[in-house]
Structure 1
Amino acid sequence: MATVTRENIGLLNDKITVKVSQEDYLPNFDKAVKQLSKTANIPGFRKGMVPAGMVKKMHGQAIFADEILKTVEKELMGYIQNEKLEIFAQPLSLDKEAKNFDHNSPAEYDFAFEVGLKPNFSVTPLEDGKTSLVRYRIKATPEMVNEEVERLQLRGGKSNEVEAVTEDDNVLYLTAEEADAQGNVIEGGHTKETSFLFKNFTAAAQAQLKGKKKDDSIVIKAADAVDADKLNWFLHDVLGLHGDSAEKYFKLTITKIELIEKRELNEEFFKEVFPAETIATEEAFRDKLRSEIEKSWDAESRNHLHNELFEVLVHETPIELPKDFLKRWLQTGGEKPKTAEEADKEYPGFDHQLRWTLISDKLIRENKLDVSFEEVKESAKQKVMGYFGGAAATDGADWLDSYLERLLQDEKFVDQTYREMVTQKLFDWAENKVNVKEEEITAEEFAKLPNKHHHHEH
């Protein structure tokens, strides 16, 4: 009869030994041989009439080894389940050499595995108000409102193609290619077709671009292209970049230059910008824009607060991990084997994400922070309405329900939306467990705040 024993070999690191004898695997071996004899196609024998002895002679060794390993796996996983062991990943084999299986001489076999055990821990930063964070408030200045009014006037204005960059209101259509400081395009680097208003570049960048024509190019560092308060927007929305990319260089090649006639500030224009509102005056239009700008900054501030909270939880929650086991697992657990040096290099980022996974799983499970399918559906609906703007503003739009139905059949979309929502629900919950004080600062000051990390989805 099979036996399973366990011993500790390190911090949260145990050795499990599975011992199997003939009586554990031979019945299944004989059964597998008989089954194959009924289905095998072997020249000289009718299908279903192949002697078991012939099957053993031709395939016995492979079947024998397979049945032993199946028995061992069943015993190992059964033990882990019965003992309620919370383990990382999969058990790793400690057997350095392959076993010598011989179906003609059945024997007793030992198999040794090591497992990494998940730790017990408390999320101490959320206990008794130990953590204090700041929520920043950014007020929309008249300059911000003026810029947004002008941007919208240009967005909705009539465009005319021109030969050279000469006016502040020129829109430059660009191919942005990641390059080195000398302008040599990096093979496999980031590339984006984009457009940008000339006057939103820095004075230094404008000096390089002034007078340029179609197919001309400049080389510039992303951080030098725009002022600090526009940098995040420029990186994410214009260049399509994520993370810390401000120090990257780009070759910007002009593909087209336009001059746009600005829209008049009238009720028709106000209705196009805010189709669900009734706005009659420029003053009311500016007030609405001011409110929307501040909402946008509130969202940025909330993300900043949650990123700070993420870092506090990951770095200040005391969690012991079986580091050596996890490094060994990194070497063998992925699609491609890694060297010990590669695992060492990869481990810090892996450790960071693993801690977050442990913390978020614990908080979501213990506090029942779940998301229903109806909530996912409503979120999907809001996304669709965001994509299509005024066209989807009316709930009764004929196409909306059918479009949503197709979208919700996409498992990848549903899973992504669920993860985003449950992570957001987790941060909203955790935010109420820390001391949050408010502080009013300018957009320029906010842009200079250290952005430690973009928190991960669950």
Structure 2
Amino acid sequence: MNISLQNVDKVSAVLTAQIEKADYQAQVDKSLKTLRQRVNMPGFRKGMVPMGLIKKQYGTSVLIEEVDKLLQEKVGEYIRDNKVNMLGTPLPKENNVNFATDENFEFSFDIALAPEFDLALSKEDTIDYYDINVTDEMVEQQVKMYTQRTAKYEKVEEYQDNDLLKGLLAELDENGNTKEGGVQVEGAVMMPSYMKNDEQKAIFNGVKVNTVLVFNPAAAFDNNEAELASLLKVKKEEVANHKGNFSFQIEEITRMIPGDLNQELFDQVLGEGKAHTEEEFRAQIKEVIAGQFAADADYKFLIDVRNYAMNKVGKLEFADELMKRIMLDNNKDKGEEFVSQNYDKSIEELTWHLIKEKLVAANSIKVEQSDISDMAKEATRAQFAQYGMINVPDELLENYSKEMLKKRESVEALVNRVIETKLANVLKEQVTLNHKAVSAEEFNQMFQ
């Protein structure tokens, strides 16, 4: 079998494969013999059908199948062995082949080639790097969350902000009397601190157990159908029928008393013996938040590297018509309109992919199995951290990460994260960083 590649221009080529009878005949004969053992044909015992009949009935289809398999195998080998920097897959040209009569075949394919370009980053290249400030307020919010987890709940006599109220809720008529047939909810529970209307919220200031007050739920909760339906125990579509005042007889007031900042809490959150004082505890919480921000900063850094590198490389040349054919071949169900609308964005993503590949190769970045396993654990740890769970046992991390590694799409995402993490670390040392201190709010606005 002879395979050759002829460049049409810098970004496209034609691959030609010439197949002779000697290349495929042995495998075709083997497949026909195997088929003969399975074929049932009237007048013949199974496995005893004459080979002539087998060839007559199945010979062409077996030939097509074996030639196709041979073609895919050898073309793939040629591309790998000759390091053809191909984009997409080979697209068959219109080949004049007759399997019923010919013994030798020639197939041609259009090949899209990746454009050649140079890119090197050094200290002469300056790229922004955003250092996100960890404020005392952030630390306080995190500490407050931990103390709320170990909170106790006490029954009190007088309402304060953030207390929970429980009582009898009754709909009133226009005269302020209990409405006949109106909504009544026993054991209704609410937190006035969640009310959107300050005037309605103020009605509850300093109220005591057994107090009966009048307020307007629709005004208090800004006509939020979901909240009102939950409070009044009616369907969302019925909420509009209950816009008036309600009486509320307070039967119970419950207050959350945050847990103490003590050694038990420190050990529970951080692990045994990691902190012994409130100052040490807060310092480590600050480090955890800073670590989460560092990952976000690296993500933004790579976005800026992408923009910087793409501007430095400039617009790359692609075999546009051929690339559109490849895109259409991969999205047959979506059609030409989809290709037309998404081609430019696809080329932009492909350009970054090629740039990233070049940077990865230039810096000899490799991905080992241990890297993937470690990243799975870090991803799991980060998921727990979002819910304030810092001290997660290694066994639990191991179990969760193993489940993640069972899914192919998860493994692909982890491999990409490993590559990007290693690339960010290398490039931070390679280029000049223009450090910019920003607040979390300012940083988040960059993604809006």
For Structure 1 versus Structure 2, the TM-score category normalised by the shorter chain is 0.5 to 0.7
Indicate how the Cα distance of structure 1 residues 213 and 442 shifts in structure 2: closer, same or farther if over 3 A, else same: closer
Structure 1 residues 266-287: Cα deviation after superposition (integer angstroms, max 9, x where no partner): 3144444434456565555444
Indicate how the Cα distance of structure 1 residues 199 and 276 shifts in structure 2: closer, same or farther if over 3 A, else same: farther
Aligned equivalent of 2:443: 446
Aligned equivalent of 1:123: 119
Alignment of 1:328 with 2:329, yes or no, is no
Aligned equivalent of 1:101: 99
Equivalent runs, 1:309-388 vs 2, <5 Å = 309-318=305-314, 319-334=316-331, 336-381=332-377, 387=384
Give 1:380 deviation, angstroms.
4.4
Give 1:214 deviation, angstroms.
12
Give me the whole-angstrom Cα distance separating, in 2, the residues matched to 1:280 and 1:72: 69
Larger-gyration structure (1/2): 2
1:437 to 429, 434, 443: 434
Give me the whole-angstrom Cα distance separating, in 2, the residues matched to 1:363 and 1:4: 32
Indicate how the Cα distance of structure 1 residues 372 and 276 shifts in structure 2: closer, same or farther if over 3 A, else same: farther
Aligned equivalent of 1:297: 293
Indicate how the Cα distance of structure 1 residues 154 and 61 shifts in structure 2: closer, same or farther if over 3 A, else same: same
Give me the whole-angstrom Cα distance separating, in 1, the residues matched to 2:306 and 2:196: 34
Q: Per the alignment, in what secondary structure is the counterpart of residue 430 of structure 2?
A: coil
Alignment of 1:217 with 2:216, yes or no, is no
Equivalent runs, 1:190-209 vs 2, <5 Å = none
Alignment of 1:307 with 2:306, yes or no, is no
Aligned equivalent of 2:184: none
Give 1:7 deviation, angstroms.
3.4
Give me the whole-angstrom Cα distance separating, in 1, the residues matched to 2:108 and 2:129: 51
Alignment of 1:138 with 2:136, yes or no, is no
Give me the whole-angstrom Cα distance separating, in 2, the residues matched to 1:432 and 1:380: 25
Q: Per the alignment, in what secondary structure is the counterpart of residue 119 of structure 1?
A: coil
Give 1:61 deviation, angstroms.
2.6
Counterpart contact for 2:39–2:47, Cα < 8 Å:
yes
Q: Per the alignment, in what secondary structure is the counterpart of residue 89 of structure 1?
A: strand
How many residues align structurally? 374
Give 1:306 deviation, angstroms.
2.8
Give me the whole-angstrom Cα distance separating, in 2, the residues matched to 1:147 and 1:136: 20
Q: CA RMSD in A?
A: 4.4
Counterpart contact for 1:304–1:451, Cα < 8 Å:
no
Give 1:436 deviation, angstroms.
0.5
Q: Per the alignment, in what secondary structure is the counterpart of residue 85 of structure 2?
A: coil
Counterpart contact for 2:377–2:401, Cα < 8 Å:
no
Aligned equivalent of 1:179: none
Indicate how the Cα distance of structure 1 residues 385 and 337 shifts in structure 2: closer, same or farther if over 3 A, else same: closer
Identify the range of structure 1 (438-447 vs 380-389) with the bigger mean alpha-carbon deviation. 380-389
Give me the whole-angstrom Cα distance separating, in 2, the residues matched to 1:80 and 1:343: 26
Equivalent runs, 1:39-438 vs 2, <5 Å = 39-74=38-73, 76-95=75-94, 99-102=97-100, 105-124=101-120, 126-127=121-122, 129-141=124-136, 143-158=137-152, 167-168=161-162, 211-212=220-221, 216-217=225-226, 261-267=256-262, 268-277=264-273, 282-318=278-314, 319-334=316-331, 336-381=332-377, 387=384, 389=389, 392-393=392-393, 403=399, 406-407=402-403, 410=406, 412=408, 414-438=411-435
Counterpart contact for 2:197–2:220, Cα < 8 Å:
no
Q: Which amino acid aligns with 1:12?
A: V
TM-score by length of 1: 0.66
Give 1:45 deviation, angstroms.
1.4
